[in-house]
Amino acid sequence: MTEHRLLPYRDELMPARIADSSLTPAGDPGEAARLRQWLAELGERSFTRARRIPLEEMTGWHTDPATGDLRHDSGKFFTVEGLDVHMPDGPVTRWSQPIINQPEVGILGILAKEIDGVLRFLIQAKAEPGNCNGLQLAPTVQATRSNYTRVHGGKAVPYLEYFQRSGGHRVIADVRQSEQGSWFQHKRNRNMVVEVTGDVPVLDGFRWMTLGEIHRSFRVDNMVTMDARTVLSCLPFAAPGLADRQTGPRDDFRSALLRSCRPEKGSLHTTGEILSWITESRTGRDVWTRRIPLRQVRSWQRVDGRISHVNGLYFDVIGLDVVAAGREVAHWRQPAIEPHGVGVVAFLARVFDGVLHVLVNARAEPGFVDAVELAPTVQCIPQNFDPLPPDRRPRFLDDVLAARSDRIRFDTELSEEGGRFHRARNRYLVVETDVDAAGDLPDFRWMTLHQLVDLLRHSHYLNVQARSLVACLHSLTSA
C-alpha cells in the first residue's frame, strides 16, 4: 500500500503566523500618514461620484409592470422586490418591506503572501458609489457572479484567478456568509483568504499590508470596508504567544481579550451548550417570509422618484447616477437602499475569570437563510424605535449609549457595503460592562472570541454586523 502522510488535526502554525503579522510594525508614526497619502493620490484618478436621481430615470433598469419590482434590463445583477414578514416574537410582529434579491454567491477574497518573513495581505483601495468619503480599504477581489461572467461587458477582475482556481495555493479561510438580513433576501458571499508563494504583481490601487497595519486602520472612521471586515473575521485568529509579546502598555482588558482568543482558557458555556442554544433558537422562533410584488408592500409608497415608508423611517429605495474613474465601467445607474440615520452596533463585553466574553444575541432577520443568526448585543438604528413604546426599545441600547468613556474600548464609525447601500453607516462599539445578563435572557449568551472564531469556519452562524465586531475586537490585539 502506498505511503500517505497524514496531516495534523489542528494547524497551530498558521495562527502563529497571523499573530506575527498582527504585531508588526507597531508604533511607526509615519505609517498612518503614508496610508492617507496613498489613498489621497489614488483618489485623484480612482473615484465614484453618485447623484440621487428619480427611480424613473434609471436607464438600464425598469419597473416590472405587473409587480412593480425594479429589475435590470438584462435580468442580471439584482432586483428590488417586496417581502411579507411575520415574526410573532419580534418587537413588530407583522410587516412588509422592499428587499434586495441577489441570489448569486459572489467572492470576497483577500490574497496573502509572506514577504520579509511576515504574512501580508493584498488590500485594494476601492471607491464605491455609496461611500460617504473617498477610497476605503477593501479585499483584493470583490466579484459578483455577474462580474466574473462579465455580464456588464467590463474588464476582467484582477487576481480573481487565485480564488477561482485555488488548487496549488493554500486556502486559509473559505466559507459562505450572510449579509444584511434586513435589506437582502438570502444574500450570501464566499469569504476567502488564499496564501500564494509565487510572484504576485501589485497593480495600481493595491497594497500589501500586515495585519497590524490593517488593524490600526480600524481606528479611523469609514476606512475599512464591510467586505474587508467580514473576510478578516474569518481568519483562524487564535493569537498564540501574543500575550507574552505584548508590545504596547499592559492592561487588563487587552490581557483578557488575548485569553479570550485561546480555546484552552475555557468559557462560561461549552461550545456544545452554545450549539444547543442556537438549535433551540432556530427551532423555536417562528419567522415566516413570503416574497410579494413590490407594489403590494403595505405602508410604503413610491413618490418623488423614491420608495419610502409612510412615516419616514427605516430606509428609502433611491436611484443613483454614478460616474466612475479607475473602475471597469465608467458610468451607470442603479437603485440603492439609503437608510435613515446612523446605526449602533455594539458588543457589551465582560471579563469572567480573566477571560473576556461578549454578549451575543440570537437574532431573527427576515432575509436570513436560516431564521436566526448570532448578532451583536445591540444592532439598530435608534430613531426607528422612536414611534414604539419604551418597552419595545432595543435591550441594552441605553447601556451602550450611556457608557462611561473609560468603559468604551472600541468606537469607530464604519460603512456598510457601498455597492448596494447609500451612505449606510454604523457606529461600532465594544463597551465593557458589569451587567450580568446571562441566565435570565433566553436570546443572549456570553461567549468568548475563540468560540465565535470557531463558528466562523461554518456558514450562517454570525451575521455580518457580528463578524465586523469580531474583526474590530481582533484589531484591539495590535498595539
C-alpha cell of residue 199: 510572484
Smallest distance from the beta carbon of 242 to a copy of itself, in angstroms? 18
C-alpha cell of residue 26: 507597531
Q: Pick the closest to residue 50 from 422, 424, 426, 425 (CA basis).
A: 422
Smallest distance from the beta carbon of 266 to a copy of itself, in angstroms? 3
Smallest distance from the beta carbon of 193 to a copy of itself, in angstroms? 11
CB 289 within 8 A of CB 85: yes
Interior angle at CA 143, CA 422 and CA 417, nearest 5: 20
Smallest distance from the beta carbon of 339 to a copy of itself, in angstroms? 29
Distance CA 426, CA 351 (A): 25
Write the interaction track for a copy of itself spanning residues 102-141; mark x where CB under 8 A is met and - where it is not. Answer: ---x------------------------------------
Smallest distance from the beta carbon of 283 to a copy of itself, in angstroms? 5
Question: Which residues, listed in sequence order, are joined to residue 71 by a DSSP beta bridge?
Answer: 62
Is residue 351 near a copy of itself by the rule CB under 8 A? yes
Question: Which residues, listed in sequence order, are joined to residue 413 by a DSSP beta bridge?
Answer: 427
Which of residues 55 and 261 has its CB atom nearest to a copy of itself in the complex?
261
Is residue 276 near a copy of itself by the rule CB under 8 A? yes
Which of residues 282 and 407 has its CB atom nearest to a copy of itself in the complex?
282
Which of residues 425 and 450 has its CB atom nearest to a copy of itself in the complex?
450
Smallest distance from the beta carbon of 165 to a copy of itself, in angstroms? 10
Tell me how crowded residue 51 is: count the other CB atoms within 10 A of its CB: 11
Tell me how crowded residue 75 is: count the other CB atoms within 10 A of its CB: 8
Is residue 7 near a copy of itself by the rule CB under 8 A? yes
Which of residues 10 and 250 has its CB atom nearest to a copy of itself in the complex?
10
Write the interaction track for a copy of itself spanning residues 10-29; mark x where CB under 8 A is met and - where it is not. Answer: xx------------------
Distance CA 306, CA 301 (A): 8
Helix 226-233 / helix 464-475 crossing angle, nearest 10 deg: 80
Is residue 2 near a copy of itself by the rule CB under 8 A? yes
**φ and ψ of 323, to 5 deg:** -110, 130
Q: Residue 219: exposed, middle, or buried by beta-carbon count in 10 A (0-12, 13-18, 19+)?
A: middle
Among 37, 93, 283, 299, binds a copy of itself (CB under 8 A): 283
Number of residues that bind a copy of itself (CB under 8 A): 50
* Cα dihedral sign, 259-468-443-431: positive
Interior angle at CA 137, CA 262 and CA 208, nearest 5: 75
Write the interaction track for a copy of itself spanning residues 182-221; mark x where CB under 8 A is met and - where it is not. Answer: --------x-------------------------------
Write the interaction track for a copy of itself spanning residues 427-446; mark x where CB under 8 A is met and - where it is not. Answer: -------x-x----------
Which of residues 105 and 388 has its CB atom nearest to a copy of itself in the complex?
105
Question: Which residues, listed in sequence order, are joined to residue 315 by a DSSP beta bridge?
Answer: 339
Smallest distance from the beta carbon of 451 to a copy of itself, in angstroms? 9
Write the interaction track for a copy of itself spanning residues 252-271; mark x where CB under 8 A is met and - where it is not. Answer: -----------xxxxxxxxx
332-356 burial string, b = 16+ CB within 10 Å, else e?
A: bbbbbbbbeeebbbbbbbbbbeebb
Distance CA 261, CA 476 (A): 12
C-alpha cell of residue 384: 426607528
Q: Is the peptide bond between 240 and the residue preceding it cis, with omega within 30 degrees of 0?
A: no
C-alpha cell of residue 34: 503614508
Contact set for a copy of itself, span 149-168 (CB under 8 A): 166
Among 28, 73, 353, 398, binds a copy of itself (CB under 8 A): 353
Distance CA 95, CA 199 (A): 53
Among 132, 151, 200, 369, binds a copy of itself (CB under 8 A): 369
Stretch of 135-143, 205-213, 423-431, 450-458 contacting a copy of itself, by CB under 8 A: 450-458
Which of residues 144 and 334 has its CB atom nearest to a copy of itself in the complex?
144
Stretch of 206-214, 245-253, 274-282, 388-396 contacting a copy of itself, by CB under 8 A: 274-282
168-181 burial string, b = 16+ CB within 10 Å, else e?
A: ebeebbbbebbbbb
Smallest distance from the beta carbon of 355 to a copy of itself, in angstroms? 6
Interior angle at CA 83, CA 81 and CA 87, nearest 5: 165
Among 52, 86, 282, 340, binds a copy of itself (CB under 8 A): 282
Which of residues 269 and 395 has its CB atom nearest to a copy of itself in the complex?
269
Binding region for a copy of itself (CB under 8 A)? 1-11, 105, 166, 171-176, 190, 236, 263-273, 275-276, 279-280, 282-283, 351-353, 355, 369-370, 434, 436, 450, 457-459
